[in-house]
Amino acid sequence: MRRSVLLLFLLIYSSLAGQKVDLLPISTTGQIVKHKYYTLSYSQKNKQAEWVFYLLTKADSLGVVKRKNNFRSDPLISSGSASLVDYKNSGYDKGHLCPAADMSFDSQAMSETFYLSNMSPQFPAFNRGIWKKLEELVRSWSRLEDSLYIVTGPIFIQDKGSIGPDSVTVPGFYYKIIYDPIGDKKMIGFILPNEKETGKSLSDYTVTVELIEQITKIDFFHNLPDSLEFRLERHIDTNLWQF
């Protein structure tokens, strides 16, 4: 019995360990920045990431590190990231793409989420409302499913202008993609408008990953086997996810 459990653990571990880098989305900007606990593709034109990618495990979201707001420019952005003055008196929140609470397992991981390359201008009622609810839902899924790959980013359609001297684009929408690599494997996508929530449930915002790819022009899980990628990205079954 112990041998069987050990073999199962080794299979799962080796599968996850070998996928993290291989599963990175395609960068349309050519500027990929790898922090210790998450990776992003930076859009100089929009002064924010076009996607952030990370692995979220059951242990990651237990909240052992308290949040400390330390918003600052990202030193790894060679072209220069947004700055605090861009958001000052803008009327928009510095909205996390990789949530601080997802990185509450380690002080460095938490700190890295406050780089302004990981921020996007979000309508306050959106950031503190349905966007927060989606982040909490995904963390609850990680506790059920154990390990999830997350990709999050803005969608630059029907943008709301720009803010600050660096002209940080205010996106019209945001997407989030969740991939469960264990067992039968499943994937789900969301697109949410950057506005005050309208009373809809989170399940009303689910979309296929293929649709997100068509809109953003980003190829997400392109290194999965073609047959698996086809099945996961073109179909969603909300019954497989606990809302």
* Per-residue model confidence as pLDDT tens digits over 14-51: 334 333 448 999 999 999 999 999 999 999 999 999 99
Q: How confident is the model at residue 201 (pLDDT cuts 50, 70, 90)?
A: very high
Residue type, 117: S
User: What 3-state class would DSSP assign to 189?
Assistant: strand
Report if residue 105 sits inside a domain.
yes
35 is catalytic: no
The CATH number of residue 180's host domain is: 3.40.570.10
* Percent of the residues in the chain that have a pLDDT greater than 70, as a whole number: 91
Report if residue 18 sits inside a domain.
no
Report if residue 187 sits inside a domain.
yes
The pLDDT value recorded for residue 113 is 97
Residue 13 CB-half CA count within 13 A: 6
Task: Calculate mean pLDDT across residues 108-133.
Answer: 96
H or E segment and range at residue 178: strand 173-180
Report if residue 138 sits inside a domain.
yes
Residue from 228, 78, 56, 225 nearest 137 by CA: 56
The pLDDT value recorded for residue 60 is 84
- Dist CA 95 CA 98 (whole Å): 9
Handedness of CA 220, 179, 168, 38 (dihedral sign): negative
The tokens for 84 are 């605090």
The pLDDT value recorded for residue 64 is 83
Q: What is the pLDDT of residues 63-114, one digit of tens each?
A: 788 888 999 999 999 888 899 999 999 999 999 999 999 999 999 999 999 9
H or E segment and range at residue 49: strand 48-57
Residue 5 has pLDDT above 70, yes or no: no
> What's the domain range around 118?
34-240
H or E segment and range at residue 206: strand 206-207
Please, are residues 25 and 216 in contact by the beta-carbon 8 Å criterion?
no
Report if residue 27 sits inside a domain.
no
Which residues, listed in sequence order, are joined to residue 84 by a DSSP beta bridge? none
Report if residue 143 sits inside a domain.
yes
- The least confident of 107-111, 115-119, 194-198, 199-203 is 194-198
Query: What predicted TM-score, i.e. pTM, was given to this entire model?
Result: 0.89
Please, are residues 242 and 191 in contact by the beta-carbon 8 Å criterion?
no
Residue type, 132: K
The pLDDT value recorded for residue 63 is 77
Q: How many domains does the chain have?
A: 1
Q: What length does the chain have?
A: 243
How much is the mean pLDDT over the chain? 90
Report if residue 56 sits inside a domain.
yes
Identify the active-site residue in 35, 96, 222, 235: 96
- Dist CA 94 CA 91 (whole Å): 10
Report if residue 24 sits inside a domain.
no
